[in-house]
Every structure is written in structure tokens, then in C-alpha cells.
Structure 1
Amino acid sequence: MSQTAAQVNHKVQAFLDDLKGKTIDHVFFVACGGSSAIMYPSKYVFDREAKAISSDLYSSNEFIQRNPVQLGENTLVILCSHSGNTPETVKAAGFARKKGALTIAMTFEPDSPLAKEAEYVAVYDWGENAQAINTNYGVLYQIVFGALHVLENHLAFEQAIDGLNKLQAVYDKALKQEADHAKAFAKAHEKEDIIYTMASGANYGVAYSYSICILMEMQWIHSHAIHAGEYFHGPFEIIDESVPFIILLGLDETRPLEERALSFSKRYGKKLTVLDAETYDFSGIDDSVKGYLAPLVLNRVLRSYADELAEARNHPLSQRRYMWKVEY
């Protein structure tokens, strides 16, 4: 076993071993909410790196209802649900298998319905003590870069796994660097009724997740995730000195979109929180994968901002009005 293989989740490695010799021409990423948001960077990876494999990202229920014509025996479906109980995602796994697709599910709960419904399952770690390579983002990248390596002999697999293995050090330094900024953000925004998020490319899923899962779901603050490339096609009309924005700058090819949006926002807005991946220390990580790993760091930093905001607002991130409490 190579050193790289030894660092890969053993369930992912078993999946990759069985993937050898199979023909896959399309990949579907299928999930809901935050589990869907973590898949945006992986979709970006396939768009940039896959030579003969196309990909799509679907919300679980629409995946079933839309019933993509490409779904079949030469399809890989990657699904995720933290609890493994998300009804739409469990149903999507069964739907994909009936169509003959190969399925691998990610979850924190190894005995969950989703784990039992998918052909393969990879369990990730969760919580403050989870190492970056073993989190949901880390395990998903192991699947994605591993599949590209097996199916297309893609050469970035070792660089990606090595980068994931070094990513915890990046997290730790970035969190220390941003600690005071996170507290200042919380104090400045504790009474805001609306906060927008903006990003592009591999980072858009992070903005989307922070908008719908943190601000709307967990803090009951009105929000919307704006794609930096769409900013000048309507949304920029909303900015003035009173409107708060969180703007993310990554390290991938779409960074110029984010920089352009930031430049305009600085002219007319004052409540801007900017997280720039260029300010974090990616020492030792290969340049070829830094753009793909940047969203993971931005996401981890933003979680610390969420913790501070929840504390300042006296509104725990676990508090809900409807989710898991009423029928829906």
C-alpha cells in the first residue's frame, strides 16, 4: 500500500478499488441543504479536471423528479446526508440504484437509512476535534480525486491527499489569525436583520451554505447567496452603506469575478466583511490544488464567525422553530 493510499478513508479506498475497470461517463452529486453545499467545490473540480466525465449537482428530490436521461449503468452518484435520515436523499439513493447507477453515500451515521440504501458508504468525522482530511469535505475530496485517478489516471490525486493531510495546520493558523476579526464581526452584526454573502467558482457553495444554513436556518437572519458573476446583473442595486455583505475571495480561476465585485462594493458599501484565502498560510501544499482547498479553509473560518455571532445574539446554532419540530 502506498503512503497516499494509507491516508485515504478505508471505505473510500475499498470503493476506489472496486471502481477499477468500470466505465463511468457521468457523475451526479446529490444532496440537500448544507450537504449539497459541500459538493459545489467537487463539481468545480470535475469541470476543471475531468476530460471525458461530465457532472451535475442536484437537490435530492429534484434529482428524482427530473429523472436525468444520463442516469444509468455508466453513472456514478455521490450522495450525502449528515444524519443519513434525509428522506429525499435516501430515496434518491434507491432511485439511482434502480437505474443501474453506482452509488456511494457519505454520512456521519454508519447505521443510518442512507448508509444502508447506497451500494457504498463512507463515514466522516464531525466536531471540533475532527481532522480536516476526515471531515465531510475531506472525505468527499478523497472520493472525487480518487475517482479521477482511477478512471482517468489523473495525476493530482497524491497532491490532493497530501494537501488534505496538511490542511489542519492551515485551519489552525487561519482560525488564530481570524479570532479577533470573528468577535468584531459578531459585535458589529448582532442586530442586523439581513446579511448577504457573495463568492464564485469553487467558493460559491461556502457562501450558499453560510446564507441558508447559518444565517437563515440557525440565526433566523434574512440572507441570500449572490454569485459574484451575477452581481452586476441585478443584485448590485441593493448595496449601500447600510447593507452588510460577506465577500469571499478564493484561489481558483474565478477569483477575478470576486475581485471585481469587491472593488465595486467598496465604492458604495461600508459594511463589508472580506475573507481572502490569499491571506492564509498554505505552506507545503502544492499549487495545483490550493484553489480547490481554499473553500474548505474559508468554510472553517466562517464557522468560527458563526459561533461568535450566535454567542453575541444569544441565539444558539442548535435553535430551531420548524426543523425537526413540525411536519413538513
Structure 2
Amino acid sequence: MLNFDEERFRKIQGGAVALAEPIRETVGELLDGGAENVYFLGAGGAGVLMLPAAQLLQRRSAFPMQLVHAAEIVLTDSAALGANSIVVIPSLSGTTKESVAVMEFAQAKGAKVIALTGHEDTPVAQGADVNFTNFAADDTSSESFYLQSLLIALAILDARGELDGDGDGGGYDAIVQELALLPDALVEVKRGFEDRAASLAEAYKDEPYHIIVGGGSAWAEAWYYGTCILEEMQWIRTRPVHASDFFHGTLELVEQGVSVLLLKSEDEARALADRVESFVPTVTDKLEVVDPASFELPGVSKGVRALITPVLLAAVLERLSAHLEVLRDHPLTTRRYYRRVEY
């Protein structure tokens, strides 16, 4: 596969899954200690990657949850954030300005901060009440953060007796056993997508604009891939739109020649994407659908597949990115303005 280190990828995703037990222990201790709510307070793309876990709690648990922009809550506050709050802060670098600020803000209010970082010797990792470091880089961090935040959500459900064994694939331990299959399985999924990634990159290399649609657990990756990869790393204009909102405005922008990338999910919201998939070909011939249901995952149950939609999408879209940067002669690390903005 183009520009891909298989063993490095396996190690990073295996490292994320290996945090299952320490995450469960930490979450259990905090809940036993009187925790009354959980806040996911990430900055930028790392914050978006927390969305599927937050959605899972919203749908399956009565435990209060909030997902808020880190920079905004520091300025606006939140009445429920306090001594009985769990705050989850993802930061790959561990140095992001907004992440440091929100950590200090939350701790000043008495909250307990769990940090998910890619580097241990950093302000966020060192300042958090509990830190989990799993080394990753830009090309591997999405799957890692999706998995770690999923484990936090599952640990909360588990501690509260809210895990539905039939719907989720089993209890916490059973789900983790299936997640442990992913480092190897995702490599094979990537391998199977490689030819299509190359074809998509050829079609997209000169495309100036994409509407990227997703619903349910696919929405986070639609937003993330459009904003943090195509816009930030390739300078390609995108319009991420939730499948629920597509027919309330965005459909009027679709005409012949307009590119639409549809990311489907395997959860209850899949019907939202089905509706978009039925309509778009009637007005443009540039619809591409990425459906995780088409990927083979031996040993992974239907319930767990529904939980890992964003992981699967991130894994295959990374292959598209690898080919795009070569065809466009635009490395994913190239930036224009970072040196002009204080982070």
C-alpha cells in the first residue's frame, strides 16, 4: 500500500484497544466517587472525533453528557461543570493552546480531567488528573481517538448497567475482545480499498469542491474528513452536511458536475444516508458512496460493527488521502498559515 507502515498502524490501534481495562478502572472509580456528568472538551478535529462516543451516551444512557467546543466553554462557562464532572480532553500533540486552557479551566472548577494524548511529556498529559498516552501521528490518530473515546463511553454504560448485550455485541469484556481484532482487520480493510482509493484520488485530484454527507455515527467522519483533511491538508473546498439537513437546503446546490461524497453508517441512522443516495444520482453523475457495511470484518458482530463505523471510514479514507497527496504533489503536512497563528 502506498506510503503505509502496516506494523506501525497495528501497534498504534492495538495500543488504543489495550487501554480498555485502565479506562474502565478509571471511569469506575470516578463514578463511584460521585461523578454526575461527563464533558467531552476537545479542540478542532480531536474534539469532533469525540462525537460518536458522545452520541452513544446520549442514545443509550441517562448519564448527563455534553460535547462542547473547548475554546467556547472557557469564555461562556457551563453551570453543570464542577466538582462532580468528568472532563475528557483529547489532544494528539498534548500542547494545543485551547486544550491546555480548557484543562486549567475545568480543574479550577473542581472537575477531574482525563486526557487522551499522543505524547506523554506535554502540558496536557502532565497536567491532567489521569492521562492515557497512545503514540499516534496524523495518519493514525483518528482511529485511535475514536476507539479510546468509545471505550470511555462503554465504560460508563458498563458501570451503570446500561450495556445492552444483544444490541451492542455483549458486555464490556466481550466487546473489547472483538475490538482487539481490529488492528489486523483494519489493515485488510485498507488493503481491500486500495484500488478504489487510487481511483477516487484520480477522480478527485482536480476537483475543486465536494459536498460530504454523513448521518448517525458517520457524521463525525464526514465533518472531520472534509475539514481536517481535504480543507486543512489539501486546500480543497468542502461542504460537510449532516444527512438530516441535506434536504433542507444543500440539495439546491447539487447539479450536474457537483461532487457528492456520501459516508454511510451501520447504525439506526443509516436510512438518512439511503435517502440521499437515492436522490443525488437524479441530479449529478458525481456521487461516490463509501459504505462500511461492504467491508469484511471476520469475528466482529453486527452490534460492534455499528459502534465502529467511524473507525472503518477513517481507515479507508486515509488511503484516499495517501493517494491524493501524491497525485496533487501536496504533502499532507503542508500548511500555509500555521506560522502566522499562535496555537
TM-score (norm 2): 0.87
**Does structure 1 residue 256 correspond to structure 2 residue 271?**
yes
Q: Which amino acid aligns with 1:32?
A: A
Distance 1:250 1:183, change over 3 A: same
Q: Which amino acid aligns with 2:23?
A: V
- Note the 1:22-171 alignment, pairs <5 A: 22-50=33-61, 52-127=62-137, 135-152=144-161, 154=163, 156-171=171-186
| In 1, Cα distance between equivalents of 2:85 and 2:141 | 31
Show the counterpart of 1:246.
261
Q: Is the 8 A contact 2:38 2:65 kept in 1?
A: yes
Show the counterpart of 2:341.
327
Q: What RMSD over aligned residues (CA atoms) do the two structures have, in Å? A: 2.2
Q: Is the 8 A contact 1:19 1:150 kept in 2?
A: no
Q: 1:191 aligns to what SS in structure 2?
A: coil
Deviations 1:57-110 (A, max 9, x none): 111111212211111122211111110111111111111111121210111011
Q: Per-residue deviation at 1:13?
A: 5.0
| In 1, Cα distance between equivalents of 2:93 and 2:139 | 18
| In 2, Cα distance between equivalents of 1:124 and 1:34 | 17
Distance 1:81 1:128, change over 3 A: closer
| In 2, Cα distance between equivalents of 1:160 and 1:64 | 35
Deviations 1:177-229 (A, max 9, x none): 21111111111111111122110111111011101111110000111211000
**Does structure 1 residue 183 correspond to structure 2 residue 172?**
no
| In 2, Cα distance between equivalents of 1:116 and 1:61 | 20
Q: Per-residue deviation at 1:130?
A: 6.9
Give percent identity, aligned residues only.
27
Higher alpha-carbon deviation: 270-279 or 154-163: 154-163
Unmatched 5+ stretches in structure 1 = 1-5
Distance 1:128 1:238, change over 3 A: closer
Q: Is the 8 A contact 1:170 1:280 kept in 2?
A: no
Q: Which amino acid aligns with 1:137?
A: Y
Show the counterpart of 2:327.
312
Distance 1:175 1:117, change over 3 A: same
Q: 2:289 aligns to what SS in structure 1?
A: strand
Unmatched 5+ stretches in structure 2 = 1-16, 166-170
- Note the 1:163-312 alignment, pairs <5 A: 163-312=178-327
Q: Is the 8 A contact 2:92 2:141 kept in 1?
A: no
Q: Is the 8 A contact 1:163 1:285 kept in 2?
A: yes
Q: 2:288 aligns to what SS in structure 1?
A: strand
Q: Is the 8 A contact 1:33 1:212 kept in 2?
A: no
Q: 1:210 aligns to what SS in structure 2?
A: helix
Q: Is the 8 A contact 2:53 2:153 kept in 1?
A: yes
Q: 1:85 aligns to what SS in structure 2?
A: coil
Q: Per-residue deviation at 1:53?
A: 0.6
Show the counterpart of 1:3.
none
| In 1, Cα distance between equivalents of 2:294 and 2:192 | 9
| In 2, Cα distance between equivalents of 1:207 and 1:164 | 22
Q: Is the 8 A contact 2:37 2:64 kept in 1?
A: yes
Higher alpha-carbon deviation: 198-207 or 162-171: 162-171
